[in-house]
Amino acid sequence: MNQSMMLMNMAKRAVKELRTQW
């Protein structure tokens, strides 16, 4: 698995969590 893909997945998850917190 590419590191870039892992970073993108982590970023997407973080965005989802931030949106739910708002």
Matching residue, tokens 């949106």: 19
pLDDT at 20: 86
Task: Please write down the HEC assignment for all residues of 1-22.
Answer: CCHHHHHHHHHHHHHHHHHHHC
Tens of pLDDT, residue by residue over 1-22, are: 699 999 999 999 999 999 987 6
- Calpha distance 12→9 (Å, rounded): 5
- Calpha distance 1→20 (Å, rounded): 28
pLDDT at 1: 66
